[in-house]
Structure formats: structure tokens, C-alpha cells
Copies of this chain bind each other. A is one copy, B any other.
């Protein structure tokens, strides 16, 4: 009910349901004077778009963003940036049979109980279509913090994983975008794609893991004690549809180590020899690479018959219709990067405030 604003200084409000007229948002707090590259914004939307390859949903949505305010002569003006993306292809009739049904592992049931009313046309507000607004805002945030590089890629699909560290991979845009699964290791990518195709043919879906790397980040970003950098990154990632887990640096594996194995020793130049800390100490960036992993469950909508109940407690059989993603991961890449950029943009601004400096009388 009240969770539709993200960030404090670089604040994004969003609205919109999967089958409504439009989705959109407002960015409040974007500094004035940023020259925006509109192509980069559309590029990110295209990476999130349905229909972009054979392993994602074949729905066709142009997903074009219209900016309504806050930009003048291609520059941000410091006033709120309003934007909308119209839903061209909602096909509400596809969903009428779901009016009173609680689909398994969807949020039909919880929305109905929480609000007492529900837009039953598709996922409504809980649909991943909502993330389109995150990508628009994130693409602008990326341009605010352009010196920082955010890269993410698919590191696992089901039980197929890259068995190289991120340092061993070519993480250039070209390398990651070369294949439809967005995995920079070509052999693994091929196996992942073939796995997804098999799963799709069975009408099923599959989960996986995305790895995200932040490089060239200034020291000092993060706001202890409750808003440590990794805590806010974790929250941002966990707010993405289908995410079940987040770890950074040594993560869950690090729990098996001793302190003497885990400690990152400093070098003369203030960098550390190892980086099990994952670039963050005490909730504040230390200038080393930040890296983290995000676990995505398999999508709940499957093209197979499932038994479920309706709101009167009657059992019924349902089966996914239409065109759905067999695996959320390739389209989630720009969402992960967008949320990362939103966190960093917000915190970057706080960082300007941590040390005292006076503002002179003009």
C-alpha cells in the first residue's frame, strides 16, 4: 500500500498494473544539468523487452517510454521527471477465467486478502511488468553515476553454472549480449539455452542465479548502521519479482571459513590482497570491486495443468495460457542493474554530505 517509492535523495515513485492503460513513474531528486542519452535508456528497455529472443516470452510490446517533464533541451532541470509507458498489447480477455482463482505461488491470494479487492487481469501490480519503471529510472541513475560500472550476467540456470570467477570472464557489453541468455561464458551459455528450450518444450520453467559486479566505485558509499550499502543492495534485489536470496562477497560459503582465512589484508596502496569482503566494510564501500549473487526461483506460471482453489475454496484445474517466459533470468539482467544503479545514485548523493564543508554566500 505504501511501498511504491524507492530511495531517499534520488527517489522513484512508480505506478501501473500489467493490464492497465499505462505504467509510469516520477523521479524526484535527480540533480539538474545531466545531459541524458535517450538511446541508452531505450537500450535498457529493449534488454528487458518481451519478444527479444526465442527463450523469452513472445509477447510483442514496443515498451517505449514517454518523458513528460523534468527534461529541457535534453538536460535534467532538477524538477521531477515524469514518465509513462503505455500498454499496447494488454489483451485483458485472456485473463477473465482467472477472476476468482488463486494461482499457485502467485500473489492472487495475498492481494485479495490484504486489499479485499484485486485487479484479476494478469498479475496486476504484482506482475513483473511493473519492473519496466525500474528500468527507466535505473537507466537515468546510471547516467548520474556514470563513472561507476555496473555489470551483471547469468551465472547459473538450474544446475548449470559458470565455474569461473568473474575476473576470468570477458564482462564487456559485447560479450554478455552475444547470446540470448546473457552469460559471458559461451560454452556454459549454450548449455543454459539448450536447457531452457527443453524446459520450455515441457511447458515448465526454471530458476537460476545472476551475478552482479560493481567496479570503479568511490570509497565511502553507504550509510551505517541500518542502511549499510549491502543491506540496501540486498533490499533492492529482494524487491525484484521471483528473488529468493542475496549474498555478497564470500556469502554463504564464507560462513565455513575462519577469520584468518577470511580477513582481507591491506596492501601499501590501501587496496586489499583478497576481497572476500566484497568491496564493503562496515557497510561502506572500500574501493575494491563489489560483487553479489541473486537467486531467482522458477516462474510460477507454467503451461501445465495444476490443481488450485478459487476464492470460495473450490478446487479447479488451471493451465497457463498465452506467451510466458520459461526463465526470467535474461530479461532480469537490466532490472538487476537498474536497481543497483538506483541504490548507488541515492547513496552517492549522501556521500557528498558526510564531511563538513561550508556553502559560501554567493
Contact = CB atoms under 8 A, between A and B. Distances in A.
Given A110-B220, A245-B245, A259-B301, A78 B115 contact: yes
Interface string A323-356: 0000000000000000000000000111111111
Interface string A101-117: 01011110111011111
B228 A265 contact: no
B1 A354 contact: yes
A22 to B, nearest CB: 4
Copies of this chain in the oligomer: 4
Contact of A110 (B14, B117, B284): B284
A321 interface: no
Contacts of A126: 224-225, 282-283
Contacts of A239: 225-228, 231, 283
A178 interface: no
Interface residues of A, number: 164
A78 B124 CA distance: 11
A125 B79 contact: yes
A265 B72 contact: no
Interface string A307-330: 111000101000000000000000
A268 interface: yes
A257 B297 CA distance: 7
Contact of A32 (B9, B117, B199): B117
B9 A13 contact: no
Contact of A360 (B218, B250, B295): B218
Nearest to A24: B82
Interface stretch (A37-45, A53-61, A165-173, A204-212): A204-212
A126 to B, nearest CB: 4
Nearest to A66: B21
A28 B14 CA distance: 9
Contacts of A260: 204, 302, 304, 306
Interface in A265-295: 265-270, 272, 276-278, 280-287, 293, 295
Contacts of A110: 219-220, 222, 280-282, 284-286
A218 B114 CA distance: 10
A162 interface: no
A143 to B, nearest CB: 10
Contacts of A297: 249-250, 254-255, 257, 262, 276
A114 B219 contact: yes
A225 B26 contact: no
A342 to B, nearest CB: 10
11 contacts: A1-B32, A3-B283, A21-B68, A78-B117, A104-B264, A107-B282, A159-B256, A204-B260, A244-B250, A265-B307, A266-B309
Given A1-B78, A104-B263, A231-B239, 9 more contacts: A1-B29, A2-B28, A15-B82, A32-B116, A76-B117, A104-B266, A114-B355, A245-B245, A255-B298
